[in-house]
Amino acid sequence: MPDQTRAYASPRAAFRGGMRDVLGAPLLVLGASYLGFGSLVRASGLGLPVGLLSTLTGWALPGQMVLVEAYAVGASLLAMVAAVALVNVRLLPMTLVLLPGMRVPGRPRWWDYAAAHLVAVTGWVQGMRVCPTLPPEQRLPYFVGFAGILWASCVAWTAVGYHLVTAVPAAVSLGLVFLNPLYFILVLTADLRNRARLGAMVLGAALGPPLYRLDPEWGLLATGLIAGTAAFLADRLCRRRHG
């Protein structure tokens, strides 16, 4: 268990700490990504309410991009719902890993359920890095302060991008959307001491291109499954040998 080196004076102070930590790169990168998403929403013929609702309820760019693409090709409502659900199912294990460490006896459970809605890649990475270093009663307030501000800003940037579609070329909009996964990779590389994480990234980078060429539809999924599983098993084997 990490040392509690980032303890705040109170849960309220932890909430404010999360709000402060989101200022800077997380807010700018995700804001730029949703600026691009908002412009793509309008370019695809969707209305602003639909774009805002997708950010409010399904706050995860891959799933939202699938929604836009499915609408553009004329997919049925059922097909769009199924596609978005399949893309966003990755958020379930992320939630199951992060939120149990934030539970506090006596706190209403609905707080945890509400916080689960804020679990997305950027907030999850920050929560996994910072929350274990905080006292248990400060972890959820910190996470909500960080991810809540990020979520609200993404809603605002979706609207801004929607209205600026004529000023943002389609190629630029698509490029902005991919800023978020690049930022995610950079955050993960900040802690290269984690052997499993480093192994998964290196193996994934090596397997990704050939598997994508072999099967564009399943190559990315296969890359993540193979690289992640291999890195996890290799890390466990090393711990057993040296533990």
Read off the pLDDT of residues 92-123 as tens digits, 9 standing for 90 and up. 888 998 999 998 988 888 898 999 999 988 88
- Locus of tokens 């590389």: 189
For the chain, give the percent of residues with pLDDT over 90.
23
Residue type, 57: T
* Burial of 215 from C-beta contacts in 10 A (0-12 / 13-18 / 19+): exposed
Q: Rounded to an integer, what is the distance from CA 115 to the centroid of its chain? A: 14
113, two tokens: 């359920």
Q: Is the pLDDT of residue 40 over 90?
A: no
167, two tokens: 């000023």
115, two tokens: 């916080």
Residue type, 77: L
pLDDT band at residue 12 under the 50/70/90 scheme: very high
Q: Dihedral through CA 222, CA 227, CA 232, CA 236, nearest 10?
A: 120
Contacts of 53 (CB under 8 A, 6+ apart): none
Q: Is the pLDDT of residue 2 over 50?
A: no
Q: Is the pLDDT of residue 158 over 70?
A: yes
pLDDT at 4: 47
Of 77, 7, 61, give the one whose Cα is nearest residue 29. Answer: 61
56, two tokens: 């409010």
Lowest mean pLDDT among 56-60, 89-93, 97-101, 190-194: 190-194
Give the Cβ contact number of residue 140 at 10 Å: 26
pLDDT at 3: 44
Q: Is the pLDDT of residue 192 over 70?
A: no
Lowest mean pLDDT among 1-5, 198-202, 227-231: 1-5
pLDDT at 1: 41
pLDDT at 181: 65
CB 118 within 8 A of CB 134: no
| Dihedral angle sign, alpha carbons of residues 39, 42, 44, 50 | positive
Q: Is the pLDDT of residue 161 over 70?
A: yes
pLDDT at 185: 65
